[in-house]
Every structure is written in C-alpha cells, then in structure tokens.
Amino acid sequence: MDKRLLIKKALEAREKAYVPYSNFRVGASVLTEDGEIYTGCNIEISSYSPTLCAERTAIFKAISEGHKRIKAVAVVGDSDFTYPCGVCRQVIREFGKDAIIIVANSEKDYKEYRLDELLPHSFGPEDLENKKK
C-alpha cells in the first residue's frame, strides 16, 4: 500500500473543499480492495445538516462505482492531525472492518491506526446477519 500516494491524493482533494461556513478544509482518499483510489472533500450546505465530510464523500464515490470493500482511508484536515468524526468511523466500519486509517498533516508526517483502535467494540453488518430472512 502506497501511503504517501494516498496522502497526496487526499491533499489534492482538500483543494476542492466547499467550506463557505466553517472555512475548515478536509480531503480524503480511499483505497478499495482491488487497488483503486477514490477521493473526496467536505461539502457544506447553508442549512448545515446536509453537510458531508470528506471521508464519506470519498467512500460513497467508491461504493457508488461498484466497490464493496475498502482497505484504507487517508484524511488531511485543517488542524494538527484531523481525525475522522464518529459518523465517518461508522461508515468506514460498514465497508472496511479491518481498514487502516491514515491521519496526516503531510506526506511525511502521518499517523496510522486500525479502524478498531478508533472505533472499538463496534456494531456492524455481521450483527444483523442472523436477522436476515
């Protein structure tokens, strides 16, 4: 896995952030199981609640193109190490139980976690498995 490439892509995506309300730019990239990379930025809406985080923009782009599993997510924000919010952690959980999360300030300055370190004792699709008809 080329972590520096993932961070580079997230940094490029951050340039596209639409953040007229917070001015807090975030970019993300997602590595799919078959090696493709999708990127996303945060998109803010004047009525606030429809706002979408960069991570979810990238993940939903990947899923909507037919991918089912994600191996890694890189995120670059506007603070010193911007971590994925709780909602994004749960969305990552849906498609990448074993995903690696790269939280970066730059291509050289980053930290790496397994999803279960950031979202321990999680709830996920398997919990609903025996309820399916």
Binding site for substrate, residues?
42-48
- Phi, then psi, of 68 in degrees rounded to 5: -115, -25
The neighbour count for residue 116, using CB atoms within 10 Å, is 13
To ligand THU, the closest distance from the beta carbon of 68 in angstroms equals 22
Q: Does 26 help bind ligand THU (rule: CB under 6 A)?
A: yes
Is 5 near ligand THU (CB under 6 A)? no
Q: Which residue has the tokens 């321990």?
A: 120
Which residue in the list 55, 94, 117, 126 is annotated as catalytic?
A: 55
The helix or strand, by DSSP H or E, that contains position 59, with its residue range, turns out to be: helix 54-64
65 is catalytic: no
- Burial class for 102, CB neighbours closer than 10 Å (0-12, 13-18, 19+): buried
Q: Is 12 in the site for ligand THU (CB under 6 A)?
A: no
Nearer to ligand THU, 1 or 87 (CB): 87
Stretch that binds ligand THU, among 51-59, 98-106, 108-116, 117-125 (CB under 6 A): 51-59
How would you label 42-78 residue by residue, b for 16+ Cβ within 10 Å and e otherwise?
bbbeeeeeebbbbbbbbbbebbeeebeebbbbbbbbe
Which residues, 64 to 93, sit near ligand THU by CB under 6 A? 84-85, 88
Contact between 105 and ligand THU by CB under 6 A: the answer reads: no
User: Which sequence positions are flagged as catalytic?
Assistant: 55
Residues that bind ligand THU (CB under 6 A): 19, 22, 24, 26, 42, 44, 51, 53-55, 84-85, 88
